[in-house]
Structure formats: structure tokens, C-alpha cells
Amino acid sequence: MELLRFSTAGSVDDGKSTLIGRLLYDSKSIFEDQMQAVKDASKRLGLGDEVNLALLTDGLRAEREQGITIDVAYRYFATPKRKFIIADTPGHIEYTRNMVTGASTADVAIILIDARNGIIEQSKRHSYIASLLQIPNVVVAINKMDLVGFSEDVFNTIKKEYEEISKILKLKNVIFIPISALNGDNVVDASTNIPWYKGETLLHLLETLPVRVDETKLPARFPVQYVIRPYSDEFHDYRGYAGRISGGSFKVGDAVTVLPSKTASKIVAIDEGNQSLEEAFTPQSVSIRLADNVDISRGDIIIKSDEHKPTVSANVSVMVCWLNHRPLNVGGKYIIRHATDETRAIIKEVHYKVNINTLENILDDKTVNVNDIAHITIKAMKPLKYDSYQENRITGSLVLIDENTFETVGAGMIVHDLEDESFAI
């Protein structure tokens, strides 16, 4: 059984929590005591016998009181084919940071559109984030079809309009489904109300979309996380470099290079607990032993010598999503976390901000506030070893941390200067 991670995004009242409730309910992932708790809460909120499935996911007291989702909630269900992790992210404007968080690990983004309202600013915002975070598959679920008489025309009009947006945003694999989350049409079971739709149901799609097949074909990357040195009699000379493979695969015997020192060596063993493997691949956590006694520490990256190398440079060009209420300080210093590496960096320049509602670049206002997305350049105190985010989601991403409060204040996706145009709109 494989694991698929997907995120859901929608505007307030798009029926996102209802959709998740429906997936859990129809796949029989809701237990009786949970259902009873939801029924009781629905009654307390004055809904009578109507059961509000949204209450299954809105876990915090404030959320249930206000009827909104505040924070990313993670939900789990499984079918005989796959195990699913849902990152349920709030749709309203002040919580863009949560949407970025939920999308950062997703294989699929489900974007909900209310059939009555069509594409609104928030739909564009969600789509931009799916594009920025390079989510491999986007499912556009056009919801509340029951409220537009299951009209094929309504569906096609929205679809056509969305295709214009997905072309601009260069979204990869976009699939449209007409659904009614409230009644379950095309969620788990095919709808008899929508005979004109010949495609798959949402669940079937989630069960069959390819999962991260490309990551294991990337140039191999192994950010060293921790050095295992037992200092015991039995394992006197053991020195294992522990980490999680973050691109491609490694085999015993591979010629490797350690960056930034450019030291060359050879893999003599790949260990996983007390077992030794011949080969390991993304995203396995292993420890690697090398033929030579080289100086390697946390933050270094091991790569295969004959493959495309990451850029080694202190200058980094980044699309940043700002996560904090204190604006980005140009000329200010921040702590940078990149893969397993950490250093400090200074913000050199803000090139432009993106208006993600209109999908236009803003050149005259360069103040980067919370939930803004901007193209910036930073200079680190030491060289980073990085790929572009397009090439590798792990070695191409970084976070900025406030030096005083230690809060995570920015999420950065590295762009090569030549690729800047791919994010410019």
C-alpha cells in the first residue's frame, strides 16, 4: 500500500470541511463515537438533526464556535488501495501561510470552487500557491452542483475559465470533477444526477494518480543530518552519515562527492537500523558509510560524482512567502534553514511582489507583509549547496527564522535567475 498526501483549499463556505467529512464518512473512516460527538455538537450549534460533517475536522474550540477553520488540520483515511494524509487548510485571506504549509508536502491539491460563484479571487490565490509550491497534480472540484441543477453548461463555463488560469500558472496535471460534497455526488460513488460526466469519482482519482515517481529519478542528494559514532568496542571505527535521501538513489560502490568541500569518496555501505542495503532511494532514512575518513558534518551534502551538481553559492534568488506580522526587513539579517544546513543571511533586495488575486506583479510597493509573496535575493554568510525548487523540492527550499523571536517568518523557494520568468506573471 502506498501513501498519498493531498491538500484541500477552498474559500469560506465552499464546503471543504464537508468534502473531507464526506470522504471520511463514505470510506467508513469515521467511528461511532466520533459521529456521536459530531451529532451532539451539531445539536448544540442549533442545527437540529442536520449533521455538520465540517465539525469532524474543525478541532479547536475557537473553530467550532466561529464555524471556521483556523489552522492546518491533518486527517487520515485508508482504502484497500492507498493510505491518505489530508492537509486541510483554511481558505480565508489571513491564513495564506497555512495554505502554503499544507501544500508544501502535497502530491495533489484539491481546489474547491462553488458552482454558483464560479472562479473568484480566492480560487486564483489557491491556484497560484499550487503552482508556486509545484504540486504535481491539481484537482479542480466544482462543488455544490446540486444548487445549479447539475448543469453541464455551468461546469463547462467554469472549466474553460479555469483553463486560462492554469495556462498562465503552468499548472501541471489539472483534472476537473463536478461534485456535491453535501450529498456525496462523485465523491466516492459515481453520481446518477450527473450522467453527462464520464470521468472518475474523486476517491478513485486519488487512488490512482501517480505518487512521486519522479523524485527517485532526480540527481541523487543526501543532506547529512547527523553523524553516528558509537565509540564502542564492537563498532570502534564505525562512522555513519545519517540522513534522508532527498533526490534520486544511491548504491554501494557509487563514487560520491561531498559538498561544499568537494571531497571525493566511495560508498562502502548503506545501513538501515541493523540491516545493510545494496541500494536506497528517496525518501528513505539511512546512514551511509564511505571508504575514506573524510571530515563531514551536519549540513554537508553527499552527491553522486557523475551527476548534475547543485549550485554552490552564497547568493540565492528566492520566491518567498512571508509568514509573519512583522514585515520583511530589507537589509536585515535572518537565520536560514536549508535542508539540514543552517546559516545567517542578509536580505539584499526585493525585486517585485506578486498580487496573487489578480496574478500581476507589483513593482512600486516593495513592502513584504504577512501573506505576501515576493521575489527577493539574499546573501548568506557561507555558500549554500542548492538546486532550484523546480528541480528539487527539498534542496530547493529554505525557511527564514527571526534572529530574536526564533519564529519561522518566511518560506522560500529557490529560483535560478534564468528561471525567474517561470514565476513572473
Partner 1 sequence: MSYKLTHLKELESESIFILREVAAQFEKPALLFSGGKDSIVMAYLAYKAFYPAAIPFPFVHIDTGHNFEETITYRDELVELLGASLIVGSVEESIKTGRAVEEKGYTASRNKLQTVTLLDTLEEHKFDAALGGARRDEEKARAKERFFSHRDEFGQWDPKNQRPELWNIFNGKKQLGEHFRVFPISNWTEMDVWQYILQENIPLPSLYYTHEREVFERDGVIYAALDAIPRKPTETVEVKQVRCRTIGDITCTGLTLSTANSLVDIIDEIASSRVTERGGRSDDKRSEAAMEDRKKAGYF
The residues in 388-417 that bind partner 1, with binding defined as CB under 8 A, are: 393-394, 397-399, 401, 406-408, 411
Q: Is 237 in the site for partner 1 (CB under 8 A)?
A: no
Among 45, 51, 68, 70, binds partner 1 (CB under 8 A): 70
Of residues 143 and 282, the one with the C-beta less far from partner 1: 282
Of residues 186 and 397, the one with the C-beta less far from partner 1: 397
Q: Taking the chain, what is the end-to-end CA distance rounded to the nearest angstrom?
A: 39
Among 12, 120, 228, 268, binds partner 1 (CB under 8 A): 228
Of residues 173 and 285, the one with the C-beta less far from partner 1: 285
Of 77-85, 154-162, 178-186, 378-386, which part binds partner 1 (CB under 8 A)? 77-85
Q: Is 231 in the site for partner 1 (CB under 8 A)?
A: yes
CB of 63 to partner 1, least distance (A): 9
Q: Specify the length of the chain in residues.
A: 425
Q: Could you give the CA distance from residue 106 to residue 127 in angstroms, rounded to a whole number?
A: 14
- Please report, as a single letter, which amino acid is at residue 180: S
Of residues 60 and 120, the one with the C-beta less far from partner 1: 60
Among 50, 76, 195, 360, binds partner 1 (CB under 8 A): 76
CB of 279 to partner 1, least distance (A): 6
Q: Which long-range contacts (CB under 8 A, 24 or more apart) does 238-243 make?
A: 238/289, 239/289, 239/293, 240/271, 240/287, 240/288, 240/289, 241/287, 241/288, 241/289, 241/290, 241/296, 241/302, 242/285, 242/286, 242/287, 243/285, 243/286, 243/287, 243/288, 243/302, 243/340
Q: Is 364 in the site for partner 1 (CB under 8 A)?
A: no
Of residues 81 and 159, the one with the C-beta less far from partner 1: 81
CB of 305 to partner 1, least distance (A): 21
Of residues 72 and 354, the one with the C-beta less far from partner 1: 72
Three-state SS string across 184-220, please?
A: CECCCECCCCCCCCCCCCHHHHHHHCCCCCHHHHCCC
Among 121, 146, 271, 307, binds partner 1 (CB under 8 A): 271
Residue 54: partners with Cβ closer than 8 Å, 6 or more residues away: 17, 18, 21, 67
The CA-atom distances, in angstroms, between 63 and each of 57, 58, 118, 144 are 10, 6, 26, 23
Q: Is 43 in the site for partner 1 (CB under 8 A)?
A: no
- For the beta carbon of residue 336, count every other beta carbon within 10 angstroms: 23
Among 43, 83, 170, 308, binds partner 1 (CB under 8 A): 83
Q: Could you give the CA distance from residue 240 to residue 233 in angstroms, rounded to a whole number?
A: 16
Of 76-84, 162-170, 308-316, 378-386, which part binds partner 1 (CB under 8 A)? 76-84
Q: Is 153 in the site for partner 1 (CB under 8 A)?
A: no
Q: Is 82 in the site for partner 1 (CB under 8 A)?
A: yes
Q: Could you give the CA distance from residue 9 to residue 131 in angstroms, rounded to a whole number?
A: 13
Q: Are 226 and 339 in contact (CB under 8 A)?
A: no
Among 52, 89, 131, 340, binds partner 1 (CB under 8 A): 340
Q: Which residues within the stretch 303-332 sit at the binding site for partner 1 (CB under 8 A)?
A: 323
Size, binding site for partner 1 by CB under 8 A? 78
Map residue 319 onto helix, strand or coil: strand
Of residues 174 and 206, the one with the C-beta less far from partner 1: 206
- Please report, as a single letter, which amino acid is at residue 86: I
